[in-house]
Amino acid sequence: MYEPVLIEQEHDEDLELDKKLAKLGGIQRKTALEIGFYGRKAKERKIWFKCGIESEDQYRASRVGVSRSTWYEVIRLAEGLKRLTLEELLRISQQNCSRLLALPETLRYDGEWLDKAETMTEETFALAVEESIDAHHNIPEEERRVWFKLKMYKTQREVIEAILKEFAADEGLGDDLGRALELILADWKS
């Protein structure tokens, strides 16, 4: 049987562990975007040549030490948001930076959208961006695209996806799996 002191000690250790992970998560997020901010400038100036390195990829691997995908992703974000200062960029999550790029440039730097990107959760911000894009293109509410998520086993997903793709191909729906699912279910219902 545990003594209350041990439970309290474990609780304190758990809180300390949580604090450390939250701090490291924030550092990692900021570091990635900071690499993008400075990496964009380095790429523009091709500084690897000045460092005696033959290519950007060699520079990335030997001097920065991040994966190729991380390097290109964070530079893409920084390039798309190049009018932001480093401090402004670091206040936004990497995911919300990516969502900001879906907006037209005129909205991307709008104070209201920057505030939303900074304060909204990634899921809420993604929905706000999608709604804005749909509204901008005058898409009626009933025709707007939305996500439909279900938790299932991987094998179930593979079977369902294969059937939807086959049905979409047979019916000439292209890659519109949402429409394929709708037609299959409507047929079953009738």
What does the H/E/C string look like for the chain?
CCCHHHHHHHHHHHHHHHHHHHHHHHHHHHHHHHHHHHHHHHHHHCHHHHCCCCCHHHHHHHHHCCCHHHHHHHHHHHHHCCCCCHHHHHCCCHHHHHHHCCCCHHHHCCHHHHHHHHHCCHHHHHHHHHHHHHHHCCCCHHHCCCCCCCCCCHHHHHHHHHHHHHHHHHCCCCCCHHHHHHHHHHHHHC
pLDDT band for position 8 (50/70/90)? low
% of the chain at pLDDT higher than 70: 86
- The answer to whether residue 14 scores a pLDDT higher than 90 is no
Long-range residue pairs from 121-128, CB within 8 A, at least 24 positions apart, any chain: 122/93, 122/95, 122/96, 125/95, 125/96, 125/99, 126/95, 126/99
Task: Look at residues 95, 97, 68 and name the one whose alpha carbon lies nearest to residue 83.
Answer: 97
Cα angle at 53 between 47 and 57, to 5 degrees? 85
Mean pLDDT score of the chain: 86
pLDDT band for position 1 (50/70/90)? very low
Q: What is the pTM of this model?
A: 0.63
pLDDT in tens, 165-189: 999 999 898 888 888 999 999 988 8
pLDDT in tens, 115-148: 999 999 999 999 899 888 877 766 566 666 677 7
Structural domain spans, the chain: 1-83, 92-147, 154-189
Residue with tokens 């279900």: 150
What pLDDT is recorded for position 2? 44
